[in-house]
Amino acid sequence: PVLATRGGVPEHQVDEIGEARTAVYASAALSLMILSAVAFGVAMWQDVPGEQLGWRVGPAGPAFAWAAGVTVAGLLLTWLLVRIGAWLNLSESPLTFTLMPRSGREVRAFLVMVGIAAVGEEYLFRGFAWQVLSGPLGAWPAALLTSVSFGLSHGYQRTIGVVRASVLGLVLTLPVM
């Protein structure tokens, strides 16, 4: 949230981060693994069944339909938000582009980090947080709260990135709901 209100990482630090991309990937992956492990530990400590945290697989046909639908909706919404952001002169953070891998080694490290992020973020935001909050708040308020929290965790991408991640977080919550 602090980075989002400040407009992301200061411009003079972007190059320094670019020089340490692999370390940034490792740091992000490790942070998500630790947060996921803590959430998993809390769930075990509280005897929360795995099915309640999203650890279930339904029939293949509906699961595939949901996956395809969420993928198409996510891509279309992302494209639309990028267009709206450009129209409103909301620039992407230079850091977003700086973090893109440049070498084969960085591509491999990036793919590992993205895989860990996909599982970790889904577990943390849609599995754990949404499930915990939907009981006392209701499904939709919990979906909005966890989606905005997910968006704010992408504050380094500036306003357009926060909005994009929040909307995508809401789309990703639908199959869980």
At residue 4, the pLDDT reads 47
Residue-averaged pLDDT of the chain: 87
Measured CA to CA in angstroms, residue 146 lies from 29, 43, 170 at distances of 20, 17, 8
Only one residue has tokens 């509906």, namely 62
Q: How far apart are CA 123 and CA 36, in angstroms?
A: 7
Tokens of residue 2, six digits? 């602090």
Across the range 163-167, mean pLDDT stands at 93
Each residue's pLDDT tens digit, 88-131: 998 888 888 888 999 999 999 999 999 999 999 988 999 889 98
Tokens of residue 156, six digits? 């380094």
Question: What is the largest distance, in Å, between two alpha-carbon atoms of the chain?
Answer: 51
Question: Does residue 34 surpass a pLDDT of 50?
Answer: yes
Classified as helix, coil or strand, 102 is coil
Q: What is the 3-state secondary structure (H, E, C) of 103-167?
A: CHHHHHHHHHHHHHHHHHHHHHHHHHHHHHHHHHHCHHHHHHHHHHHHHHCCHHHHHHHHHHHHH
Residue 26: partners with Cβ closer than 8 Å, 6 or more residues away: 109, 113
Sequence-distant contacts of 26-32: CB under 8 A, at least 24 apart = 26/109, 26/113, 28/113, 28/117, 29/112, 29/113, 29/116, 29/117, 32/116, 32/117, 32/120, 32/121, 32/124
Number of neighbours of residue 82 by Cβ within 10 angstroms: 14
Report phi then psi at 19, rounded to 5: -75, -15
Across the range 137-152, mean pLDDT stands at 95
At residue 10, the pLDDT reads 66
Which range, of 10-14, 135-139, 150-154, averages the lowest pLDDT? Answer: 10-14
At residue 3, the pLDDT reads 46
Report phi then psi at 118, rounded to 5: -60, -50
At residue 110, the pLDDT reads 94
Single pTM value for the model: 0.83
